[in-house]
Structure 1
Amino acid sequence: MARRGEELRTHILYAAKEVFLELGFERASMDQVAARAQTSKRTLYAYFASKEALYLAIVEYVRGVSLERVKTPADYPGPPLEALAQFLARFMQSALHGPAIQMSRMSIGVASRFPDGAAEYFEVAFQSVAERIAVFLRGTFRLTPRTANDAANALLGRILVPRFLRALFAVDPLPPAIPLPPDTPPVSSSDLGLARELIAEIVEPLIEH
């Protein structure tokens, strides 16, 4: 049965993401996307008016996938600080897997000529995660918005460096892709241990006063 409507749009986005990751934004073309999606250029343009519009739609698609994988700290079991540690460890797993690193590289590559696209990906990949942490800290521990935001950004900055940068610049091998739930593997004990250490250093002093 032929795909239609939202199913076809999602199929095109998945195919387009693969083309963009393989070739980069500049080299990827709408012809290649149409061929990979096994649809016509006319159909492709009916959904996406330009390659830039298609890229922004891919970023929004990635947002949904990332949210499904990472969720929010409140979705994890256990005491609040342990739930936050689980969330951070899952975020690291998601941020370091191959397609996420490739998307980051591509977004950096187009930042000078397509800043809106790069900024949108930054919001999806990092800022939205910081906001989820800050919301959790405000609601759970009654921290002020500024304190919660500062703590969230500190947590992300400390847990990302240096492993994310080493993967981004190909110092370390590109990690493999990870499947979506329910097949997503458990988080690593090292990531979870680091998350707990950072929470003890950054968050616990704020809630003890």
Structure 2
Amino acid sequence: MARRGAELREHIIDTAKWAFLESGFERTSMDAIATRASTSKRSLYAHFPTKEALFMAIVERSQELFEDSLRSPGHYCADDPAEAAALFCARFLQLLDWPPILRTCRLGISEAEHLPEAAVQLHQVFIGTVTDGLTDHLAAAYRLDRAAAADLATRLLGVTVYPAVFRGLFGGTPSDRRGSAPTEATLAEDVDLPAVREAVRALLP
């Protein structure tokens, strides 16, 4: 049975995401996406009038999935705010190290001049929202004002996450692994948790 309505829209977004990740925005045509999605150009344009609109839909979908996967610091440990912060940073690192997310970050950077709105939103997805969530947690847990909590959140992410992410961004093309995103169950296998915990506790009040 042919896909229709919302089901077709989601299928197009998922198909286009992989097409963009593999070939880049400029080199991926709407004709190619329609063929790959097994739909007509008319149906494709009915949902997304431009390639830019389709790309923004992919960004919005990425935000939903990423936020659902990461959650808030309090989700990881309700009783120990330091452990909650450490596990939150570790989970963030685990997700950012997953090839599809890493490649999405690269795509946003490469298209920043052509699609500045999408690049800004991707930055908000992978950096801004995370920093805000950690800031809220630290402000509440340690009774810090917003500016002090934001500074502390930035420093925590700076020592636990960003060095590894920058290595990934500049370390060659990641493998084309399309399986499900890494789960919390494998956090200790995917991330050096003792190192993250040590770095976090060294900076906390």
TM-score normalised per structure 2: 0.89
Residue 96 of structure 1: CA displacement?
A: 0.8
Asked whether the equivalents of residues 178 and 184 of structure 1 are also in contact (C-alpha less than 8 Å), the reply is no
1:5-20 pair list within 5 angstroms = 5-20=5-20
Residue 185 of structure 1: CA displacement?
A: 4.5
Could you tell me which runs of 5 or more consecutive residues in structure 1 were left unpaired when the two chains were aligned.
none
- Deviates most, 36-45 or 86-95: 36-45
CA distance in 2 between partners of 1:32 and 1:57 (Å): 17
Counterpart for residue 115 of structure 1: 116
CA distance in 2 between partners of 1:115 and 1:49 (Å): 19
Distance 1:6 1:15, change over 3 A: same
Distance 1:25 1:131, change over 3 A: same
Q: Which runs of 4+ in 1 moved over 6 A?
A: none
CA distance in 2 between partners of 1:7 and 1:166 (Å): 37
Residue 160 of structure 1: CA displacement?
A: 2.6
1:179 is paired with a residue of what secondary structure?
Answer: coil
Counterpart for residue 170 of structure 2: 169
1:174-189 pair list within 5 angstroms = 174=175, 176=177, 179-180=180-181, 185-188=185-188
CA distance in 2 between partners of 1:163 and 1:177 (Å): 21
Q: Aligned-residue CA RMSD in angstroms?
A: 2.1
Q: Which amino acid aligns with 2:38?
A: Q
Give the share of equivalent positions with the same residue, in percent. 39
Residue 177 of structure 1: CA displacement?
A: 5.1
Counterpart for residue 149 of structure 2: 148
Distance 1:176 1:166, change over 3 A: farther
Residue 180 of structure 1: CA displacement?
A: 4.1
Counterpart for residue 124 of structure 1: 125
Number of aligned positions between the proteins: 203
Counterpart for residue 48 of structure 2: 48
Residue 3 of structure 1: CA displacement?
A: 2.6
Residue 50 of structure 1: CA displacement?
A: 0.9
Residue 178 of structure 1: CA displacement?
A: 5.6
TM-score normalised per structure 1: 0.88
CA distance in 2 between partners of 1:48 and 1:165 (Å): 33
1:14-163 pair list within 5 angstroms = 14-77=14-77, 78-163=79-164
CA distance in 2 between partners of 1:150 and 1:6 (Å): 42
Residue 94 of structure 1: CA displacement?
A: 0.4
